[in-house]
């Protein structure tokens, strides 16, 4: 494949991105920012016990006004989530109007929370100038109860009962509902909804393109209540929107059967068994449609929630198109010939834009575009101000006192009010710090400016804690995610430089100065013995250990984690590399490069020599790094689990080119000093084979150990799967057991869903393939190659007798990961292993889901089904850009 670089004409989408940076024209004011799930989130939970799933269940969502956001299907909103647009549907048989996506709560699912709908992100551009979404809606009664009951009946060793398993799509008895948006201008958004009856027999559908105003007035004093009001001018019926914060807009729509109005307010009678002050509540449309009684919903011509109702009678295989337009303008003919012309132009521009990313074959282009679409559709408005949440709102009853000492209570300075990249807009509708770093690495390919701003957000004083800690994720901001922000900053910088020929040094300076605070927090907090070996805790890998690493370490011991130490070594190298890059422009940063260089040397020396008696972190008999449980007595107990936690030491590697050293004489002098003097006092030759006239390799593990780890990594009997690197060695098909204080702890290779309840049981690091870790290993192998070139080869796979260079190995690993989504000769994609027959169908075969993780043996998609966040790294692999 060929990487498209700077020497070309700019596309229309790139011109819009540039215009957004250099003028007052805000192309990003409107986008696919509406969350897919607001109910069941921590920020909407005002209970005493912190049980978010029970406090605000799906059953309440249609009747209770949200406090911190909105949700919907195929939604659009402004960048502060005030004016929201989405779909509502009714097939005439369901008990409820479908206004939001349904799924299981954490306790309901046999593997945790899980959306139980079929929908696909098909297109999206960085300015959201063109967006396309597909929702598949059954024509028969949606199996809500069966999905809950069947999954409750299944144990953790069984697969999840999915919507496709119910047979609801048999005989094509469903509607394909395509929602498309095209921007005629930055505040002039054309909307087209295409409903296709996929069955051969007639079917009817109630379609309600719904507009609502986020409710602030019920919670805050002195807030001017917005208004949606019916208008008629020049024989054109439309609604006007008056909003003090966002401005005034008009929504035009084709002639509808009915116009429905209500208020986006809680139905107190339904939720709290208290009398309502008026009957116009959030759930009025649901009541009107399902009971066929529109007398109340059509009585008024204004409110804060509105929908034109279209009762569509579709023949077999027929489709209908409904057009709308949300605009600042007054339009006499909102749906004239320019409407379709704009859609045609924006779709063409979308295709042209993505052709600038990579010149690759059609199948890879399909994967890449849908992955980018998912990444962009997962940009959502996120609002959570912890102090306000803890104290409650003056117009409502105050939260229970327990909240003041409960979840996130120590994060009173945290105030989030931004467009953020979600891991999954339904299953993880909140940011996670290390997820976002990987997201930004993929965003850099299409919108480096957004990637930089997104990463910088986590270092702002209203995100980062005063002590330098970066918030982890909504369920526990104090948890510890791997420190990959510096790694992501470097990737963004390099990708933008390769694309444009310009490196943003100012960005590196901004992120470096803030991350220095975070680095200090890590050192002070997680190196309790001051010996450069780090405990870390959770570190994002959920259930990878034999026991929960977040708390409750057996015997009141301390777990010295290889991955904790490796993450810190990688952090050192990232900060060192950033220092060097900035020092090329500002030599005052050479001192910082020396600081991180020295810190890395000491970490590497400690990891490789850490022993107590004959127990060492590096097991010389088994050629692997193992975590050490250190008991209060001083006893070391090795935890001999062969996982990517022990393999992560490979990722901490940096090749410093001779030209860089020559341009930075102070840093070069420090390196030579370390080599000549300091190494005499170190117990392990971390710096070796370096001479002044060569490149300089810093690696957490020395050459001989690196070779042993690589042989293990590339062994198909251990880590190498046909679809990437497994998170746990396959040798643990025979379970590993260890007894500590009379209690047996065990772990075994589980290539699919989690069989434990640890961390909710919704993810599994005991065997499956995870894109972010695979990407780190591939990047590290390429970095080794930049130093050794073709001089170093390995058997690939180990024991095969076939030797490849490190570059060839990195490409081969990339191909295995890409193959998860590619069609084989029979037209099957491994990701769809459980539903191959369905995905052979003409109306399914070109749609791809990007799951959270993948089966360690067959590549099947597992976990969150739309986690295009970090799984979007497949786009980087296809592009071949580091």
Q: What is the pLDDT of residues 191-202, one digit of tens each?
A: 999 999 999 999
Q: What is the pLDDT of residues 357-378, one digit of tens each?
A: 878 889 999 999 999 999 999 9
Tokens 């990701």 — which residue? Answer: 831
Report pLDDT for 681.
Answer: 60
Judged against a pLDDT cut of 80, whether residue 241 lies above it is answered with yes
Q: At what angle are helices 337-355 and 12-22 packed, to 10 degrees?
A: 90
Report pLDDT for 383.
Answer: 98
Percent of the chain with pLDDT over 90: 82
Q: What is the pLDDT of residues 406-432, one digit of tens each?
A: 999 999 999 999 999 999 999 999 999
Torsion angle (degrees, nearest 10) of CA 250, 253, 257, 262: -30
Phi and psi for 290 in degrees, rounded to 5? -70, -20
Report pLDDT for 529.
Answer: 58
Tell me which H or E stretch contains 261: strand 258-262
Q: What is the pLDDT of residues 513-566, one digit of tens each?
A: 999 999 999 888 755 555 555 655 657 788 888 877 666 677 777 787 888 889
- Spatial neighbors of 24 by CB under 8 A, at least 6 apart, are none
What's the chain's average pLDDT? 93
> How many angstroms separate the Cα of 348 from the Cα of each of 5, 337, 847?
21, 17, 19
C-alpha 17/C-alpha 27 separation (Å) is 8
Q: What is the CA radius of gyration of the chain?
A: 28
Q: What is the pLDDT of residues 807-825, one digit of tens each?
A: 999 999 999 999 999 999 9
C-alpha 773/C-alpha 776 separation (Å) is 5
Please say whether the beta carbons of 346 and 213 come within 8 A.
no
Phi and psi for 346 in degrees, rounded to 5? -70, -35
Q: What pTM was estimated for this model as a whole?
A: 0.96
Report pLDDT for 539.
Answer: 73
Helix boundaries (H) for 123-281: 144-153, 268-272
b/e map of 456-478 (b: 16 or more CB within 10 Å)?
A: bbbbeeebbbeebbbbbbbbebe
Judged against a pLDDT cut of 80, whether residue 6 lies above it is answered with no
Half-sphere exposure in the Cβ direction for 192 (13 Å, CA): 23
Q: What is the pLDDT of residues 689-707, one digit of tens each?
A: 677 788 999 999 999 999 9
C-alpha 878/C-alpha 818 separation (Å) is 7
pLDDT band at 757 (very low <50, low <70, confident <90, very high): confident
C-alpha 729/C-alpha 798 separation (Å) is 14
Judged against a pLDDT cut of 60, whether residue 3 lies above it is answered with no
Please say whether the beta carbons of 502 and 495 come within 8 A.
no
> How many angstroms separate the Cα of 163 from the Cα of each of 142, 146, 298, 857?
9, 10, 35, 24
Report pLDDT for 882.
Answer: 46
C-alpha 214/C-alpha 66 separation (Å) is 8
What is the rounded average pLDDT of the residues 248-276? Answer: 97
End-to-end CA distance of the chain: 14
C-alpha 677/C-alpha 666 separation (Å) is 16
> How many angstroms separate the Cα of 665 from the Cα of each of 375, 576, 688, 852?
43, 15, 20, 46
Report pLDDT for 359.
Answer: 80
What is the rounded average pLDDT of the residues 59-85? Answer: 98
């Amino acid at each position: 494949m060929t990487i498209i670089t700077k020497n070309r004409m700019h596309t229309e989408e790139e011109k819009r991105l540039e215009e957004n940076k250099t003028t007052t024209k805000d192309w990003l004011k409107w986008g696919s920012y509406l969350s897919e799930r607001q109910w069941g989130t921590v920020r909407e939970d005002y209970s005493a016990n912190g049980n978010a799933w029970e406090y605000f269940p799906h059953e309440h969502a249609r009747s209770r006004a949200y406090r911190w956001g909105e949700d919907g299907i195929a939604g659009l909103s402004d960048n502060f989530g005030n004016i929201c647009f989405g779909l509502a549907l009714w097939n005439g048989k369901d008990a409820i109007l479908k206004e939001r996506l349904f799924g299981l709560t954490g306790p309901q699912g046999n593997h945790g929370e899980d959306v139980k709908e079929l929908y696909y992100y098909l297109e999206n551009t960085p300015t959201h100038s063109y967006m396309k979404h597909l929702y598949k809606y059954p024509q028969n009664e949606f199996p809500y109860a069966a999905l809950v009951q069947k999954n409750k009946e299944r144990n953790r060793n069984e697969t999840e009962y999915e919507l496709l398993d119910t047979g609801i799509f048999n005989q094509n008895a469903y509607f394909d509902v395509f929602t498309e948006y095209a921007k005629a201008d930055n505040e002039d958004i054309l909307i087209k909804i295409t409903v296709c009856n996929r069955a051969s027999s007639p079917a009817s559908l109630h379609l309600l393109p719904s507009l609502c105003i986020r409710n602030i007035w019920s919670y805050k004093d002195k807030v001017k209540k917005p208004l949606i009001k019916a208008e008629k001018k020049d024989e054109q019926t439309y609604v006007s929107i008056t909003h003090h914060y966002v401005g005034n807009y008009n929504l035009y729509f084709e002639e509808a059967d009915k116009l429905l109005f209500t208020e986006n307010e809680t139905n107190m009678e339904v939720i709290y068994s208290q009398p309502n002050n008026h009957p116009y509540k959030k759930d009025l449309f649901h009541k009107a449609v399902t009971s066929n009684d529109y007398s109340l919903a059509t009585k008024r011509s204004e409110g804060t929630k509105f929908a034109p109702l279209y009762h569509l009678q579709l023949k077999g295989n027929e489709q209908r198109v409904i057009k709308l337009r949300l605009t600042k303008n007054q339009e006499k003919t909102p749906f004239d010939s320019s409407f379709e012309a704009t859609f045609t132009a924006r779709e063409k521009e979308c295709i042209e834009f993505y052709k600038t990313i990579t010149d690759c074959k059609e199948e890879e282009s399909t994967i890449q575009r849908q992955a980018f679409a998912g990444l962009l559709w997962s940009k959502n408005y996120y609002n959570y101000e912890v102090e306000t949440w803890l104290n409650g709102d003056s117009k409502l009853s105050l939260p229970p006192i327990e909240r003041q000492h409960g979840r996130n209570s120590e994060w009173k300075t945290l105030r989030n009010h931004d467009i953020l990249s979600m891991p999954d807009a339904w299953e993880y509708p909140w940011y996670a710090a290390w997820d976002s770093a990987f997201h930004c690495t993929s965003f850099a390919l299409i919108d480096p400016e957004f990637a930089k701003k997104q990463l910088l957000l986590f270092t702002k004083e209203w995100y980062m804690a005063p002590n330098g800690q970066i918030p982890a994720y909504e369920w526990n901001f104090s948890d510890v995610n791997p420190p990959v922000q510096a790694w992501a900053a470097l990737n963004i910088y390099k990708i933008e430089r390769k694309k444009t020929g310009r490196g943003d040094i100012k960005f590196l300076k901004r992120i470096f100065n803030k991350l220095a605070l975070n680095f200090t927090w890590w050192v002070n907090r997680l190196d309790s013995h001051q010996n450069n070996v780090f405990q870390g805790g959770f570190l994002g890998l959920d259930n990878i250990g034999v026991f929960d690493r977040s708390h409750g370490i057996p015997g009141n011991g301390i777990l010295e984690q290889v991955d904790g130490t490796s993450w810190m070594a990688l952090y050192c190298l990232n900060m060192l590399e950033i220092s060097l890059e900035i020092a090329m422009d500002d030599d005052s940063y050479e001192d910082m490069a020396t600081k991180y260089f020295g810190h890395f040397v000491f970490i590497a020396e400690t990891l490789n020599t850490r022993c107590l008696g004959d127990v060492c972190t590096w097991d010389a008999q088994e050629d692997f790094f193992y975590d050490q449980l250190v008991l209060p007595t001083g006893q070391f107990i090795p935890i001999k689990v062969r996982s990517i936690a022990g393999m992560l030491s490979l990722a901490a590697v940096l090749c410093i080119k001779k030209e860089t050293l020559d341009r930075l004489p102070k840093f070069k002098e420090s390196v030579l000093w370390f080599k000549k003097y300091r190494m005499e006092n170190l117990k392990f030759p971390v710096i070796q084979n370096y001479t002044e006239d060569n490149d300089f390799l810093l690696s957490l593990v020395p050459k001989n150990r690196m070779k042993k780890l690589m042989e293990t990594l590339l062994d198909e009997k251990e880590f190498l799967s046909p679809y990437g690197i497994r998170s746990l060695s396959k040798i643990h098909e025979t379970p590993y057991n260890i007894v500590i204080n009379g209690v047996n702890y065990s772990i075994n290779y589980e290539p699919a869903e989690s069989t434990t309840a640890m961390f909710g049981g919704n993810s599994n690091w005991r065997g499956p393939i995870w894109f972010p870790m695979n990407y780190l290993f591939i990047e590290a192998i390429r970095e080794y190659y930049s130093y050794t070139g073709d001089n170093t080869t390995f058997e690939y796979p180990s024991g095969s007798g076939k030797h490849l260079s490190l570059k060839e190995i990195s490409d081969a690993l990339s191909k295995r990961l890409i193959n998860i989504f590619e069609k084989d000769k029979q037209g099957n994609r491994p990701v769809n292993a459980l539903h191959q027959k369905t995905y052979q169908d003409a109306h399914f075969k070109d749609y791809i889901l990007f799951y959270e993780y993948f089966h360690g043996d067959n590549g099947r998609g597992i976990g969150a089904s739309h986690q295009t966040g970090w799984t979007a790294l497949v786009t980087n692999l296809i592009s071949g850009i580091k």
